[in-house]
Each structure stands twice: as structure tokens, then as C-alpha cells.
Amino acid sequence: MKAFDTTPHSFHIPVMGTGFTMDTPLRVAHLGISSVVSLGDDILMEKLRRYHSQRLHLGFEPIALKGPEGRARRITAWLDFLDAQVKVQSLALRAAPLRAGSELTRYFELLPEGPLKTAWRDCLALPEGLARGEAEVGLRAAALPGAINVNIMTKVDRSVLPTGEVLGPECTDAVTALKGFARSTLASAVVFSAGINPRLYGAMTPFTDFFPDATGAIKKHVILKVSDWRSAEVQGRFLAKKGIWIDEFRVESGLNCGGHAFATQGQLLGPILEEFNSRMPVLHKELEILWAKALVARGQAAGQIAPPFRLTVQGGVGTAAEHALLIKAYHAQSVGWGSPFLLVAETSLVDGPTRALLAAAGEGDIFLSDASPLGVPFWCLAHSSSEEQRLQRIAQGRPGSPCPQAALAFNTEFGPIPKCTASRDYQARKLAQLEDAGLPGPLLAASRKLVTDRACICVELGGSALHSLGLDLSVKSTVCPGPNLVWFKRLASLEEMVGHIYGRFDLLGPEAAARPHVFLAELKITVDFLLREAQRHAEGLTPRSEDYFTEYATNLLKGIDYYCARSEALFGQKRAQLEAATAEFRRKAESFLQGGLMPAVA
């Protein structure tokens, strides 16, 4: 079977929020750069489809949200629009002259060193004539676009509307997003993140694009975004039994990333990648047997051969050396660069004031918050218009959002109709409940803060996109960069950012000497999270078992030992950082195991 297609680039742009990469394929796919579009907000997709259709003088037929399968149809329409326009752009690029300043030349200039770039240089060195003409034909054929991949957060699967209407299993949010992708013309991949969803995965089986055709080719692929081996193993087996092949495991740092931070039990990225490398061959054989058996049960021919797994990685990468390390040491086939591209106007939908805040962000301005109504830690930017509005509402005695879309309304604490914990209705009820509970003063204050920290991310993560295109200035903008972004201090062009990734350009400057290695940055955040959870446990906010702290600290120590044993190979010139940091981190982890920092509930 044909393996999952790759571009000549060794990086990809991951999904960022609901809006920041919504039209990124229109901006960079023709240049061979793959990116990921969120399928969370179909209302935003419809607005962008209208905007770009009018910009390109194309016809636009609106799709009503409340019509038959409105959400799924809107998603399909947006993805079909992206697919069609990228194909037009790519045809134009391949027809462009191979001379300075053309988009075709730009395509090759952006590439990393490799066979295709060498072929381009060799072609330019040829004199005009038959040989050069043939070389140009080959180059044009090889100038393929990047993938238009999509993301579905599996647990964001609302089944009850704010009106109380119960959606059937075929009409939930995640399932309709899947339908929208499955019915589109795209030949690309869906990235599943946030864990297993049996209902969603079961909804894939009616769509033939997820299965091999008569030639053995699969049109729509599956990528699992995970932060540990167990999640990959469990989901891989579940899908293989349904005849769905996992083409790629996309390993993301649990905490050193943008957006939601799915904290591991103290496991660190290096050891996790090591485990993937050592265990994937055995898992591949196991899943291939399950997958082939399921295909036969579907009536397909026996003897299907599964392509090899791809392994990709993302989270906190900031230098060309780290990029190269992940490829060389862990055989990653692509490395995700997300937050730095928020500073590149050519690639992301970010309004001017927000982009300026991102470029000026220093230590403490990007912080791990409780903003997400999902109850998962969430990276936030201080002083964003959304954050300022949230604080203003608290000061005015009216905390919470009006909740215009209720996409994250899952809490049934106050009745059968789910509410979003960021909503004004929920927060008013919850705060009143806390006042009546007779809690001690410190616990009451901490509990109130936990309630009012929730923010309207389902709408406001798309606010920046609306502002940047002048579509709706009333929606505030929230942004969720990873902490690594504080080391990038200015806006950059696409050429500069790609050059930085490949070591042709340096966007960090002298300050880079103080920047911690990507593995050490994650280690510090992981230790800090342990201390945070210990403090919350002591306050009675998030009761944890002793086993939780013991397992977390044990995994931390194993990770520290792993890095110390490989310090020269992994850290190079940053070995001194490792030696300086690990003594303190090891002491803190050992203190938990010895009970010295084990907190008691107040």
C-alpha cells in the first residue's frame, strides 16, 4: 500500500486554537507547507468562506446552521473551498517561470537541504536548452502542495443543546465535524486529539475514504495526537479493529505546548519518544493483523499490507538544533512549529494588537491558566482583549460570558441542560453555592477564583481571525501560545521563520544563550505543575491521592536519569544547563517520594 504522503519539508504548522490556522492552507499550502485546520467552529468557517469567496469574486451560497445537517455541510463547504483554491494556486505556481521572484522559485528557496533542492540548484546551473527544459519539467512536477489536514478534539462532542434539545448520536458536534471532513474532496488526514471517543470512531466506518480502495490507496488518513505511549496503543487497537489504519502518531509535549496542556504523570518528552521508537514495530505487527481481519469482515480482499507508521513531534521547539535533534535522535519525520508562526502575518489569522502583544511577551505574560471550561490547563496570554474583558466583568460584579455559542456546555451540576462553566449563568449559580457552603476564608477565595478563571474560548479563540479580516470587531480575542514564544521578540516573514527552522537565519539573537533547551524547559514546567497540584491539594481544591504524587515524582526521576545518561548526545553545548537544573529538580522529586513535600488537605 502507498505510504502516507509527505512534503519535502521537515516541519508542519499544527492546529492553533479554532481560528489562527483556519485559512493557513490558502496562505502556504501551495508552497509545500502542511498545516492543520480546526473543525471546531463552523460559524467561523462560514464567515471565512463568505469573505474569501467575495475576495476572489466567486459565487457564495450560504448554508443555514439550522438546516439539515447544517454544521456538517458548512464544514464540507469550507474544506472543499480550501481544496479547490489550493489546487488553483498550485497549478499557477507550477506554471510560473523559474526565475527570481516567482512563486515557483520561492517554493524551492524555502525548502530544506535535500535531493529536491539540489535538483533545483543543478537545474539553474544548466544552460538554456533541452537538458534544462527536461529538468524544469521534473521540478514542476515535484512542486507538490502541502497537506490540508484537519483537527477534531474528540471530547468536544456536545450532544445536548442549550435549548434542551438532545442530539442523536449521528448529530453530535465531533461526529458532524467528522462527516464534514469525510464528505469533502480533500485527500488528507484528520488529527484526533484529546483521547478516545468510541462514538466518534464508530462514525468513521460508513465512509469508504477511510479504507483502502481497489488499488490499496487510502484517501483520508488518520493521525493520533497523543502525549504518551498508552494512549497511542489503546486508540490504535480500537481503530484497527474497525479497519481504520493509524498513519501517524503525533507526539506532543504534555505541558510545553500551546492551547490545552494535557499533563502526563510526570513523563517527559525524550523518554516518551524513546518508548515510541522501541515499541512501534511490535505494535505495527499487532495492528496490521487486527486491521486486515477487520477489512476482510467488511468484504474487502485479504492480504492488505499496511504502510509503516509515521512519527512526528511538537511542543516547545525553538531552534534549528532542536529541530534537527528530534529528527536525528528520535527519527521524527516532521516537527511541529506552532506558536512562532503566530508572529508570521503570512501564515496565521492574528489581529495587529494581539500580534504585538505576542511579540512583546516576556516571562510571566504567557501562563498556564484555568481558562478552559473543559477543566484542562490552558496556556493564556496576559492582557489579551479577552483576558482584560474577563477581569473587567469580575470587577463589575458580573463574572462570566453571555455564552453566545455554548459549544463547551457540558456541566449538568445545576440541571439536565448542560451549561458552560465559563458562562455568566453557571458562574453566578456556582458562586452563590460557594457562599452558602460555609467554606473557610482562604478556601472560599481560592474556589471563587477557580470558578471565575473560566473564559469563553469557544468563541474568542476565533476573535482574532474576525478582527484581522475586519469581519466582527465586537468579539474579543483570546490567544493560547506556548511558553516557548517568549524567546521570539519580533514579527517575522515566512522566509525568516522557515530559515530559522532550517538554520539559515536566527530569529532569537543573543538572548538565545539564556533560553533553556526544549527538554529542560519541559522538565521545569512539569516540576512546576507538580508543585502547583500539591498546593491545590493542600488547599482542598483538587484532592489527589498519595499514589498520584508518588507516580508523578517517580516518572520525573526516571526522566532526569534518562537525560543525564544521554547528556552529550541530546544537549550538546547546553549540557551545563542540564547539570545546573537537574540537581534542584531531582531534590524536589525525591522529596515527594520521601514524604517531605507530600501535602495534607487543609
Residue 596 — pLDDT band, cuts 50, 70, 90?
low
268-304 pLDDT tens trace: 999 999 999 999 999 999 999 999 999 999 999 888 8
Torsion sign, CA atoms 568, 569, 573, 575: negative
Say yes or no to pLDDT of 567 above 90.
yes
Q: Which three cell numbers stand for residue 569?
A: 548526545
**For residue 597, what pLDDT band results from cuts at 50, 70 and 90?**
low
Report pLDDT digits (tens) over 365-409.
999 999 999 999 999 999 999 999 999 999 999 999 999 999 999
Model pTM score: 0.96
At residue 583, the pLDDT reads 87
Whether the predicted pLDDT of 530 surpasses 80: yes
pLDDT above 80: residue 602: no
Place of cell 533553556: 516
Report which residue type is found at 83: D
The 10s digit of each residue's pLDDT in 422-456 is 999 999 999 999 999 999 999 999 999 999 999 99
Q: Is the pLDDT of residue 4 over 80?
A: no
- Segment 590-599 shows an average pLDDT of 73
Bridge partners of 578, per DSSP, are none
What whole-number percentage of the chain has pLDDT above 90?
89
Best CA proximity match to 336, nearest among 311, 310, 312, 309: 312
Q: What is the structure's pLDDT at 447?
A: 96
Contacts for 12 with CB less than 8 Å, ≥ 6 apart: 33, 34, 35, 36, 146, 147, 149, 312, 314, 334, 335, 336, 337
pLDDT tens digits, residue range 303-322?
Answer: 888 999 999 999 999 999 99
Question: Which amino acid is located at 270 in the chain?
Answer: G
pLDDT at position 509 over 90: no
Backbone phi, then psi, for 79, in 5-degree steps? Answer: -65, -40
Torsion angle (degrees, nearest 10) of CA 263, 552, 274, 270: 60
Cα separation of 140 and 133, whole Å?
A: 11
The yes-or-no verdict on residue 41 having pLDDT over 60 is yes
The DSSP output letter for 221 is E
The model's confidence at residue 261, banded by pLDDT at 50, 70 and 90, is very high
pLDDT tens figures, 146-199: 999 999 999 999 999 888 899 999 999 999 999 999 999 999 999 999 999 999
Neighbour-count burial for 382-399, b at 16+ CB within 10 Å, e otherwise: eebbbbebbeebbeeeeb
What does the mean pLDDT of the chain come to?
95
Q: What is the mean pLDDT of residues 98-118?
A: 97
- Lowest-pLDDT choice from 50-59, 64-73, 361-370, 412-421: 64-73
Given a contact cutoff of 8 angstroms between Cβ atoms, the answer to whether 314 and 291 are in contact is no
pLDDT band at 593 (very low <50, low <70, confident <90, very high): confident
pLDDT above 70 covers a percentage of the chain that reads 98
